[in-house]
Amino acid sequence: MASPDTRTQLLDAAERLFAERGYRGTSVRAITDLAGANLAAVAYHFGSKAELLAAVARRVIEPINAAQCAGLDRLLARTPDPPVAELVAAFVGPMYDEMRAGDEGGARTSRLIVTILSDPAEEVRSWTGPAEDAVRDRYLEAFTRALPDLPPQELWFRIRGILAVTAVDRVEVHNRLAGLPPVAGEAAKQWAITFLAAAMSAPPTGT
C-alpha cells in the first residue's frame, strides 16, 4: 500500500469522471491520470474497467441502502403500518443525506447514479446485489399496506416515479435553461418529500 493508497485514489477519480462524462465517455487513461497512477493500475487493482465501475457503484450505493433499511426499521418499530408520507421520507431522505459527503451538494453523486441507471450497456448495470433488491421489496410491501386500494401495477409505477425524481433530480439538461441557481441540498430533499408524498397519496386512477 502506497501512502495515499492508489486503490482509493482510483476509486475517487473514477467516481468523479464517471459522473461527469459517463462510463463510456471516460477512458482508463483519464482515470489513472487524474489519480496520479499508472495506466496498468486499474487492471491490477480491479481487473478491468467494468469491475472498477462496479466497485465505485457499490461504494456509493451501500450507505444509501443501509440508511434506507435503518429508516424503515425505525418506522416499523413504532407502528406496523406507517403512513405514506413517512415511508416516502424514510426512502427518499437517505438518497439526499448520504450523497452529501464530499461532492458539490450531492450533484456529482446524483449524476453518477443517473449515468449508471440509464446506461444501456449490460456491464454498467450488473453491479446490483441482493441487498438492493431486499430493501426495495421491503418498501414495496410497506407501501402496499399503506395504500391497500392501489392496484399492484399502479403502485409499482409510482415506486419507479420516486426513483425517477430522486435520481434525475439534478441532471444538467433540466437545469440549463432555468435562470435559477442550482438547488441547495437540504431544500431539494424537503421539496422531493413534499412532491412525492403527495404523488404517492393520490387516489387510484380507476379504470
Binding interface with DNA (CB under 7 A): 1-2, 6, 26-30, 37-45, 48-50
Closer to a copy of itself at the Cβ: 103 or 154?
154
Is residue 193 within 8 A of residue 89, CB to CB? The reply is yes
| Least distance between DNA and beta carbon 52 (Å) | 8
| Least distance between a copy of itself and beta carbon 21 (Å) | 5
Give the list of residues 6+ apart from residue 140 with CB closer than 8 angstroms, or none. 155, 156, 159
Is residue 6 within 8 A of residue 35, CB to CB? The reply is yes
* Interface residues toward a copy of itself, by CB under 8 A: 20-22, 24-25, 111, 114-115, 117-121, 125, 133, 136, 152-154, 156-158, 160-161, 163-165, 167-169, 171-175, 177-178, 180, 183, 187-188, 190-192, 194-199, 201-205, 207
Comparing C-alpha atoms, which of 76, 71, 77 is closest to residue 90? 71
| Least distance between a copy of itself and beta carbon 109 (Å) | 14
| Least distance between DNA and beta carbon 203 (Å) | 48
Alpha-helical segments (H) within 79-184: 84-97, 107-118, 130-146, 152-168, 172-176
Pick one of a copy of itself, DNA, none as the site partner of residue 34 (Cβ within 5 to 8 A by kind). Answer: none
Distance CA 141, CA 146 (A): 9
